[in-house]
Structure 1
Amino acid sequence: MDEHKLGYKGNGVLQELEILTINAKAEQEVILSKILEKNRAAEYLNKFMNGSIDISAFKSQVPVVTYDVVQPYISRIAAGERSSILCGEQIVELLRSSGTSRGEPRLMPSISEDLYRRTYLYSLIMPIMNKYIQDLDEGKAMYLLFVKAETLTNAGIPVRSVLTSYYKSPQFLQRKHDLYNSYTSPDEVILCPDSQQSMYCQLLCGLVERRNVVRLGAVFASAFLRSISFLEKHWCDLVTDIRTGQINSNITNTTCRLAMESFLAQPNPEVADEIEVICSSKSWKGVLCRLWPNVKYIEAVLTGTMAQYIPMLEFYSDGRIPLVCTMYASSESYFGVNLRPLCSPKDVSYTILPNMAYFEFVPLEDGLKSVQDDEVVENDKLVSLVDVKVGCYYELVVTTFAGLYRYRVGDVLQVTGFYNRAPQFKFICRRNVILSVDSDKTNEEDLHGSVSRAKKILENRNHLLLEYTSCTDTSTVPGHYVLFWEIKYTSEGTAPCAPLDAQLLESCCIAVEESLDYVYRRCRARDKSVGPLEIRLVEAGTFDALMDLLVRQGSSINQYKTPRCIESGPSLKLLNSKAIASFFSPRDPEWTV
């Protein structure tokens, strides 16, 4: 297939999808052959292949790797080396991944052709949706889309998120010619680098167009809910703008302001009155249905850690608006689409598209137990795309045109079935991640290290941290991390127990946050997509009670380990019932690299 034709739109792409999935095995072999042919002279690949493009040699000689192996090569590219280091094509940008390595954001190489593959996947979404919901071309989408600040390497290569790259591309900006992708917000508003001003203006546009909106959404459920929380705080100002036809003076970005002045054009007191009545209601249950009465569905990522936001979305929609997940993608590669978009979020499976990259899988033989980064994955253990087994769990491995070879993405997937010959996967989790609210991903090791640093503050005041666990609390918007701590006073003799004052525990909160990785700190301090960390003190004996509970539920007392994250259920209910005090981080952590 001609890669430069991947960007076309319309129902023809569904016929293309049928052909691709029927011929998944052959398509994968073609993709790998093309990658090897184009990149045969690249330093990294040539080290193992000696210029060969033989597929069997690739499978036997090129190792399975993690980011630590690739990072030195990417650093050389960022520094401006002109040689073919990872691939034969020019690296036009480095995509900042939400994953981290030693607290730093991961940078993924990207070539110009990657944009066509991404556009192809996007071109599938509306034809698929239109099979299930009619007349989507007769209204607009209020999608809350945001760019993030980008930088340049010393060699002048842009460093940005994959979504920022797409939103600034001609393919996205020319979408106005597609009736299925008419958005309420002007491009200048979406591309505004100030997320608060952009959010205000996007909500303003959506409210003005409220009766024309047939789709609501954001990329992640967390971002959509953050926007609804923002609306709760600022609806009075938004109503005033609509009533007067004048944009709020807080919108200072020149390009954004000019676009909004043109958009508002004139006062609209009738719409302002309607919105004021709805937003001044005591309860916001079902508010989305009232503000946007013609909405047919809400689109966002609701799988993996994002599933925790489903109850809040159902509250705001009164359970009457379908929640839709459409696609599966990452900075490393785009992967697949959901061919049953109206299924329950808990049943979402993604059909992997065999023309996106070359896919292999590490079987997780012990159920969900993932292979750790420092464990070698033998080449002969990998399974090809069409040879995975229904019901089994795997870790995803990709080989891309941009120079990732047998790269472990870190996603744990379960095979749920096949569409023709292409497997369908349920996203289970990120490898080793136990806490996540937005793009932050905190594993058990990082959490333990952060808590260990903070507990030294307690020890200096004769207090001992006996035990701890954690959870993410999404009853607040934005959500935040919660640490449950059981503390014992350790002073000898008859010295009275020193009180656990707020300043002491708040300093512990700060110490934990300062020790967490770059992405968490950026989400907290710059993006405001994660709320202040909370420590909840629990009464003496709480963790013994937790062990008793889990043993009664089937855990072995001989092998019992305190779980470092509690997601829900009786365990979380027990911990909260034992809480005696709560303390929050009083300031943002430092986040700049």
Structure 2
Amino acid sequence: MKPNSQINEGSEMKLEDLTLNVKQIQDDVLEEILTHNAKTEYLQRFLTETFDKELFKKNVPVVTYEDMKPDIERVVNGESSDVISARPITGFLLSSGTSGGAQKMMPWNNKYLDNLTFIYDLRMDVISKHVKGVEEGKGMMFLFTKQESITPSGLPARVATSSYFKSDYFKSRPSNWYYTYTSPDEVILCANNTESLYCHLLCGLVQRDEVVRMGSIFASVMVRAIKVLENSWEELCSNIRSGHLSKWVTDLGCQSSVALVLGGPRPELADTIETICNQESWKGIVNKLWPNTKYIETVVTGSMGQYVSTLNYYCNDLPLVSTTYGSSETTFGINLDPLCKPEDVSYTFMPNMSYFEFIPMDGDKNDVVDLDDVKLGCTYEPVVTNFAGLYRMRVGDIVLVTGFYNNAPQFKFVRRENVVLSIDADKTNEEDLFKAVRQASRVLESSGLTLSDFSSYADTSAFPGHYVVYLEIKSKDGEKRKKNQLELNEEALSKCCLVMEDSLDNVYKRCRFKDGSIGPLEVRVVRQGTFDSLEDFFIRQGASTGQYKTPRCIKSGKALQVMEACVVGRFFST
């Protein structure tokens, strides 16, 4: 059976049917999973062979990845899939490993790709209804694959995007606007992400008038692409002028496919691009280089919210469209209001993706509820039972119910549960940290500075321990951008420390000002390009360019060394 035969069948399901019949579809999904996997070793520990939803919820424990890791590793190491799944496991998905610690290995099979492709088709329909003329051009999408590893079982371990791009689903994708890119497939499949990114930019510049949408999986990747453009536009123009790709790009697939896109020397096009890039200010550079672009498609929720102001600067407030909410465990749902503001993005969960349960954050955490029982205004942690052998696994995200589309709940991503700073009794989560940094960002903006990126850690090397926040900042002034110079404004940066402390919760303030168990918050300014170096470090450790997320709380000693080597100024709260 061709992959698309299942996809087409799934795509025929009306959005209205999916969102009206949430409870029935969820019950059917759970019955299918449990009936099919009844004889697996994992489920046999808790259930008889008869499907019973109530017994499932009573007897099968809610678990973390660490709880299931021993069983997953048995399959990784060559034991039969039926330890956890009756359907053969065909590989393992690697999590990004940057938001919450070490990479996880999630079992997967083609059902994951069925669901992913179904969501892609659904979001294509949603976008086409909201954005006029998007079908008339190409997408300049920064898409990447990462070299896979082979587990002792002989099965591949890949990041989710690589699993899709290396599959028959991608090779036999429909020839419609949503799957038409400026870059050849060889560029997407190139294992060297540095060469791939450069070629993405080159192909997009050559076809600049055909680009109607631009994007990446995460906003951080889009920002990285603009930085590479800022540093490499002269070389890119030289390639376009001569009609030849730079010799340092050694990937044979990139060489041959990009040569066809270049199509020989284009001196006039190179002159045009050179004139645009040579301007003192790069505000709105994306609109100037790609004048027909209608929106930027990239995730700007959660930790990616940090990059909204940077993208708005370079993209002249083009709509930033967060389309999909997904993870290595499952795809959750899509944004049915794609042109809304980034801070208003909510995702409508699709009940056919997996079986979803929710741990309430505001009440009894033992009272796990179904998708159709969540309440408006309440926060939850999703729990997933999927088609590849994960049962009642906690995802580690915190989401807020913001509304309903028919009977399908809509969720706003709030934060990762396990990313916190803590010295004493204080527990500063990712949401609190973002709130503090937003306050500091406003101080910087009023001083002619802009925040490029940030991270943090709890320094307990001396007593009392204290919070350290790393900031990479730059001047808004175009001339200073060219010279790569930055004058540190001591008054503004000291004020950043103050406003960040003032925005933290009462437990922190008690420990800081009354008990004296937490020392003054410290800002360490790092030189420009530091967070690129941090990304390079994590990629060398196995992270994927396409799925990279800046860790907001650094836990790796070696990653801290990368940051410390780049510190150019230290400022404390007074």
TM bucket normalised to smaller: 0.7 to 0.9
**1:85-122 Cα deviation digits (max 9, x unpaired):** 11101110100012479953100000122211111011
Quick check: 1:197 aligned with 2:229? Answer: no
- Matched residue, 1:7: 7
Quick check: 1:277 aligned with 2:228? Answer: no
**Quick check: 112-121 or 345-354, which moved more?**
112-121
Distance 1:80 1:330 in 2: 25
Displacement of 1:181? 2.1
Q: Identify the match of residue 410 of structure 2 among 407, 420, 424.
A: 424
Structure 1 counterpart SS, 2:147? coil
Question: Is the 2:323–2:338 contact (alpha carbons within 8 Å) kept by the matching residues of 1?
Answer: yes
Distance 1:143 1:434 in 2: 33
Question: Is the 1:129–1:341 contact (alpha carbons within 8 Å) kept by the matching residues of 2?
Answer: yes
Distance 1:99 1:208 in 2: 35
| Residue correspondence of structure 1 range 513-592 to structure 2 within 5 A | 546=498, 550=502, 555=506, 559-561=510-512, 592=541
Q: Residue type of the partner of 1:362?
A: I
- Matched residue, 2:58: 60
Displacement of 1:171? 1.8
Q: Residue type of the partner of 1:550?
A: D
- Matched residue, 1:488: none
Distance 1:267 1:157 in 2: 45
**Quick check: 145-154 or 352-361, which moved more?**
145-154
Displacement of 1:36? 0.5
Q: Identify the match of residue 219 of structure 2 among 213, 218, 221.
A: 221
| Residue correspondence of structure 1 range 439-450 to structure 2 within 5 A | none
- Matched residue, 2:106: 108
Question: Is the 2:468–2:522 contact (alpha carbons within 8 Å) kept by the matching residues of 1?
Answer: no
Quick check: 1:291 aligned with 2:289? Answer: yes
Displacement of 1:257? 0.8
- Matched residue, 2:265: 267
Structure 2 counterpart SS, 1:360? strand
Distance 1:417 1:15 in 2: 22
- Matched residue, 2:395: 409
Q: 1:169 to 1:143 in 2, by over 3 A?
A: same
- Matched residue, 1:209: 207
Q: 1:556 to 1:116 in 2, by over 3 A?
A: closer
Q: 1:554 to 1:148 in 2, by over 3 A?
A: closer
Quick check: 1:382 aligned with 2:379? Answer: no
Displacement of 1:448? 9.8
| Residue correspondence of structure 1 range 144-163 to structure 2 within 5 A | 144-163=142-161
Distance 1:155 1:242 in 2: 46
Higher Cα radius of gyration: 1
Q: 1:284 to 1:85 in 2, by over 3 A?
A: same
Structure 1 counterpart SS, 2:123? helix
- Matched residue, 2:331: 334
Displacement of 1:50? 2.7
| Residue correspondence of structure 1 range 349-364 to structure 2 within 5 A | 349-364=346-361
Root-mean-square deviation (CA, aligned residues, Å) is 3.5
Give unpaired runs (5+ residues) of structure 1: 372-376, 436-440, 456-463, 478-535, 563-571
Distance 2:383 2:416 in 1: 13
Structure 2 counterpart SS, 1:131? helix
Distance 1:547 1:338 in 2: 33
- Matched residue, 2:27: 29
Q: 1:176 to 1:250 in 2, by over 3 A?
A: farther
TM-score if structure 1 supplies the norm length? 0.75
Distance 2:376 2:186 in 1: 45
Quick check: 1:399 aligned with 2:385? Answer: yes
Quick check: 1:345 aligned with 2:296? Answer: no
Q: Identify the match of residue 167 of structure 1 among 165, 168, 175.
A: 165
Structure 1 counterpart SS, 2:282? coil
Displacement of 1:254? 1.2
Q: 1:69 to 1:282 in 2, by over 3 A?
A: same
Displacement of 1:154? 1.3
Structure 1 counterpart SS, 2:42? helix
- Matched residue, 2:230: 232
Q: 1:262 to 1:80 in 2, by over 3 A?
A: same
Give unpaired runs (5+ residues) of structure 2: 422-429, 434-454, 476-487, 514-519, 543-574
Q: Residue type of the partner of 2:53?
A: I
Displacement of 1:472? 5.5
Distance 1:125 1:548 in 2: 38
Q: 1:580 to 1:348 in 2, by over 3 A?
A: closer
Q: Residue type of the partner of 2:385?
A: T
TM-score if structure 2 supplies the norm length? 0.78
Displacement of 1:397? 0.4
Question: Is the 1:65–1:406 contact (alpha carbons within 8 Å) kept by the matching residues of 2?
Answer: yes
**1:238-267 Cα deviation digits (max 9, x unpaired):** 101111111111111112111112221211
Structure 2 counterpart SS, 1:84? helix
Displacement of 1:176? 5.3
Displacement of 1:550? 3.1
Q: Residue type of the partner of 2:407?
A: R
Q: 1:427 to 1:548 in 2, by over 3 A?
A: closer
- Matched residue, 2:442: none
Question: Is the 2:467–2:522 contact (alpha carbons within 8 Å) kept by the matching residues of 1?
Answer: no
Question: Is the 1:67–1:101 contact (alpha carbons within 8 Å) kept by the matching residues of 2?
Answer: no
Question: Is the 2:457–2:468 contact (alpha carbons within 8 Å) kept by the matching residues of 1?
Answer: no
Distance 1:173 1:401 in 2: 23
Displacement of 1:476? 6.6
**1:120-153 Cα deviation digits (max 9, x unpaired):** 0111111101111122111000000111221000
Q: Identify the match of residue 178 of structure 1 among 176, 179, 183.
A: 176
Distance 2:94 2:368 in 1: 27
Structure 2 counterpart SS, 1:429? strand
Q: Residue type of the partner of 1:473?
A: L
Question: Is the 1:14–1:127 contact (alpha carbons within 8 Å) kept by the matching residues of 2?
Answer: no
- Matched residue, 1:84: 82
Distance 1:170 1:298 in 2: 27
- Count of paired positions: 487
Displacement of 1:317? 1.3
Displacement of 1:401? 0.9
Structure 2 counterpart SS, 1:336? strand
